[in-house]
Amino acid sequence: MARNTQDTYQNPLIERYASPEMLFVFSPHNKFSTWRKLWIALAEAQAELGLQISHDQIVEMKANVDNIDYEAARQIEAQTRHDVMAHIKVFGEKCPKAKPIIHLGATSAFVGDNTDLIQMREACTIILARMSNVVRVLRKFALAHADRATLGFTHFQPAQLTTVGKRATLWMYELLMDFEAVEEFIARLPFLGVKGATGTQASFLSLFNGDHDKVKKLDTDVAARMGFRQTVPVSGQTYSRKIDFQAAASLCGLAQSLHKFGNDLRLLQHLKEIEEPFEKTQVGSSAMAYKRNPMRSERLTSLCRYIISLSLSPAMTAAEQWFERTLDDSANKRLSIPEIFLTADAALIIALDICEGLLVYPAVIARHIGEELPFMATENILMASVKKGGDRQEIHERIRLHSMEAARGVKIEGKRNDLLNRCAADPKILLSNDDIKDLLDVKAFVGRSPEQTREFISLYIDPLLARAERYGTVNKMNLTV
């Protein structure tokens, strides 16, 4: 029965969330054309080291890198149950001169594993570019609000004041750690190289008549041709699957940071202090027309939880490998590795969209400060009263009693916080209304928040963004709301 796309499951990462750049990295064409590039690099290096491989054979292979008959490969794989052999045969049909030397001495992991490493490196570069975009926008936001006092929260209970900009540095600092983790992963990412069926390079040693130096040079030359400075020092047939886990772990860390940012914003939106962007025609609820649900932040946290859960699969796969290789990794990593990168890509796209449209409501922030500042000012009131000759212990008790009564009025009777008026009216506290007002400048309650914000950006974020230039740029997505 003929089916259309509406009759078949569609992966939301492809249909809704991930970018064309990341989808291409893990696309069949990128994968299989990279296999052909690896066969070419192997042949070129073997020719330079003295094997009978002609210039015409290499030219023929290069001319057919993208000339892939996918239907023929599918049919052969259905017969052989082996994807690498299917593509060797299809490539050989397009390259009759080179057919005898394609995949010479190699095993399936030569193309499969080395391509996986290339794809992860390409994907990490996209992730770094997207992370730098988010950090760049948060940097601008933090500087714009470096001096804007706001309630700090511990346990989501009002605590000492901070600034809106300083809070944004907490988000940026975690992203900084994630950026460095991905950078470090790329820097130390090795190539599998040419290792053979069990990692002993026996087939290549045979090709070069026992010349160990030529085998070692073949390993490093192929890696260099594919842009890698190092190969794994030892291996079985495959590279250690702990490398997959290390990639997943760095993205798991990123997901944790973005999830915290998304949760913070959801709480701030509940307080009506800061909101994510909301389109003019956007609908918040099908039933409650007034609602402005934080759907972007909710989608962000939802995707981040998926990343965190996905990171467990590579860990379990690495632990499950037997001796020089088993195949129980294949189906798992075929799903988990692309999807963790696609989901991280999607999460960063949404995070950037949120950050570019953040809405700050200073009047609401100021009102909330006004409701809590009297309690925070009690230590200043105590010190000022003592300076005027009051008894520290007696004044402390008077302030405590007034605080209890003021809190009772706020919580039980719904009154405004009248603690300051109570203190000013108490003759034992020795301060007038004007004296107390002089103690309430919010700048005195934010500590070094403005300075910390600017110093952090100068010392840490600006160098990160300068370094990020090497990773290029990526397109901004038009999101489906």
The structure's pTM equals: 0.91
CATH number at residue 53: 1.10.275.10
Residue 369 falls inside a structural domain: no
Query: In angstroms, rounded to a whole number, what is the distance separating the alpha carbons of residues 34 and 115?
Result: 6
Mean pLDDT of 137-150: 98
Query: In which domain, by residue range, is 299 found?
Result: 109-274+292-364+460-470
Q: What percent of the chain has pLDDT over 90?
A: 80
Query: In angstroms, rounded to a whole number, what is the distance separating the alpha carbons of residues 42 and 110?
Result: 10
Q: Same structural domain for residues 121 and 219?
A: yes
Mean pLDDT of 146-169: 95
Last residue of a domain, one of 57, 73, 104: 104
212 as an active site residue: the answer is no
Write down the pLDDT at residue 4. Answer: 64
Buried b (16+ CB within 10 A) or exposed e, 105-141: bbbbbbbbbbbbbbbbbbbbbbbbbbbbbbbbbbbeb
Instruction: Looking at mean pLDDT, say which of 102-116, 383-397, 425-439 comes out highest.
Output: 102-116
Q: Same structural domain for residues 208 and 354?
A: yes
Q: Same structural domain for residues 122 and 224?
A: yes
Lowest-pLDDT range of 203-212, 248-257, 284-293: 284-293
Residue 454 falls inside a structural domain: no
Contacts of 13 (CB under 8 A, 6+ apart): 339, 342, 343, 346
Amino acid at 109: A
Residue 477 falls inside a structural domain: no
Q: Same structural domain for residues 215 and 344?
A: yes
Last residue of a domain, one of 75, 104, 133: 104
Residue 1: pLDDT above 50? no
Average pLDDT of the chain to the nearest whole number: 93
The kind and range of the H/E element at 151 are strand 149-154
The kind and range of the H/E element at 348 are helix 330-356
Residue 288: pLDDT above 80? no
How many helices (H) and strands (E) the chain has is answered by: 21, 4
Tens of pLDDT along 314-350? 999 999 999 999 999 999 999 999 999 999 999 999 9
259 as an active site residue: the answer is no
Residue 182 falls inside a structural domain: yes
Last residue of a domain, one of 72, 104, 136: 104
Q: Same structural domain for residues 174 and 248?
A: yes
CATH number at residue 385: 1.10.40.30
**Around 312, how many Cα atoms within 13 Å sit in the side-chain half-sphere?**
4
Q: Same structural domain for residues 114 and 92?
A: no
Q: Same structural domain for residues 38 and 158?
A: no
Overall domain count for the chain: 3
Tens of pLDDT along 424-464? 999 999 998 888 888 888 988 999 999 999 999 999 999 99
Q: Same structural domain for residues 178 and 262?
A: yes
Q: Same structural domain for residues 159 and 217?
A: yes
Q: Same structural domain for residues 232 and 122?
A: yes
Residue 7 falls inside a structural domain: no
Identify any residues that bridge with 153 across adjacent strands, giving them in sequence order: 158
DSSP, res 359: E
Residue 100 falls inside a structural domain: yes
The kind and range of the H/E element at 360 are strand 359-360
Residue 48: pLDDT above 90? yes
CATH number at residue 247: 1.20.200.10
Lowest-pLDDT range of 7-11, 336-340, 364-368: 7-11
Tens of pLDDT along 264-273? 999 999 999 9
Q: Same structural domain for residues 213 and 81?
A: no
Alpha helices in 95-211 (DSSP H): 108-144, 164-188, 202-207
Write down the pLDDT at residue 374. Answer: 86
Residue 382 falls inside a structural domain: yes
> Could you say which of 285, 309, 330, 432 is catalytic?
285
Phi, psi of 274 (to 5 degrees): -140, 140
Calculate helix-pair angle for 164-188, 108-144, nearest 10 degrees.
160
Q: What percent of the chain has pLDDT over 70?
A: 95
Q: Are 37 and 118 in contact (CB under 8 A)?
A: no
Q: Same structural domain for residues 382 and 360?
A: no
